[in-house]
Structure 1
Amino acid sequence: MIRPHHRNPGPAFSEDAAAAAPLRWLLLSAVRSSPVRAFRTDRLRPAGIPSLLVACLALAAALLVTGCSSVSTRKVIALDRFQRFYVERLLNENHHLDEIIVAELRRLGCTADSGPRTMMPAHTEVLVTYDARWTWDFHTYLIELNLELHTVFPSKKLADGRYYQPSIKPRAPVEVVRGLLGPLFGR
């Protein structure tokens, strides 16, 4: 004998159940007829709230990952008239930023070299100094870079630049240096 499937009638009929019946019917009909359905229609929750929650969480995660970055450059004198640059290597900096800066200066068409200040060639026109701040969050990345360009004699500031980005998804040091030196040389 085949029995029809019967739902459990639940507790005995009461006045509270009678009062909640129209509300339950209204919510269930809204969920079932809505184009955006809830994940489970057997629960009484309005349609759209889970998708709204997921959208808000995704937006918050995107904002946290991108973070805020700032790049500012300022030049006092046009740098295109100088050709020979020397990047002072910091003794406690093991990330080879001086080599990255030299490579970018050469890409911009300048003659550049790096090393300790005591090894600076006599024909150097511009001394480039930098200060870098690195941080570690599952990998080491550049969080801040300050560049200053000075004439050798007399020591006069020509330009400076600052990069700052305290976020989880940082830029590569090559991109940071290119973003700082490009505007200083008008490129």
Structure 2
Amino acid sequence: MKRVIRLLLAAAAVSLFTSGCAVNRATATVDPSANLDKLRVVQVKQLEGEDGTIHKLIAGNLRKRGLQVTEDSKSAEQVDAVVTYVDKWMWDLSMYLLELTVTVRDPKSDFPLATGNSFHTSLTRLSPQEMVDEVVGNIFKESATQK
């Protein structure tokens, strides 16, 4: 019986110490009816209370992809898509971007055409620029593979 208990304790210890805290996940989904290649003008909605850092990085990434990015004040009829995002920051000796979710939405119905997510804990952390590149890149890569 003691041997079984020791074996269970050893297995629990191995499980505890090998699980670690390095989590790394990047995903993207695109609605089958969405054609992101037809997008020309998009609007990136800035989160209320956000300093604009992520907003500017997303807008810059979309401009590099040849899209025109407009100001928040444009109406839904003037854009092909509205891009929203949620950023989650964490403290581990310094602030870092833990998770970023970007959603490309239909401007008229607010229906999500595509969503990308990146999640990196402290040991696998990326800079905000790298997180934006990963998320937006995965959205457009996933869109291209659906053709």
User: Is the TM value for this pair above 0.5?
Assistant: yes
Q: Contact conserved, 2:105 with 2:111, CA < 8 A, in 1? A: yes
Deviation (angstroms), 1:142? 0.1
Match 2:74 to one of 113, 116, 120? 120
RMSD: 2.1
Q: Percent identity?
A: 23
Match for 1:78: what amino acid?
Answer: N
With normalisation by structure 1, the TM-score equals: 0.59
Q: Does 1:184 align with 2:139?
A: yes
Question: Match for residue 43 of structure 2?
Answer: 86
In 1: Cα distance, 2:99 partner to 2:52 partner? 13
Deviation (angstroms), 1:72? 0.5
Number of residues of Structure 1 aligned to a counterpart in Structure 2: 122
Gap change, CA 1:156 and 1:101, over 3 Å in 2: same
Match 1:110 to one of 45, 67, 76? 67
Runs of at least 4 residues off by over 3 Å: none
Question: Match for residue 112 of structure 2?
Answer: 157
For CA contacts below 8 A with separation 6 or more, give which structure has more relative contact order.
Answer: 2
Q: Does 1:70 align with 2:25?
A: yes
Residues 57-86 of structure 1: per-residue CA shift (max 9 Å, x gap): xxx8xx968x22100000111211111111
In 1: Cα distance, 2:110 partner to 2:126 partner? 32
Question: Match for residue 84 of structure 2?
Answer: 129
Larger Rg: 1 or 2? 1
Q: Contact conserved, 2:24 with 2:124, CA < 8 A, in 1? A: no
With normalisation by structure 2, the TM-score equals: 0.74
SS in structure 2 of the partner of residue 92 of structure 1: coil
In 2: Cα distance, 1:137 partner to 1:83 partner? 39
In 1: Cα distance, 2:106 partner to 2:37 partner? 13
Gap change, CA 1:147 and 1:163, over 3 Å in 2: same
In 2: Cα distance, 1:68 partner to 1:179 partner? 15
Gap change, CA 1:93 and 1:82, over 3 Å in 2: same
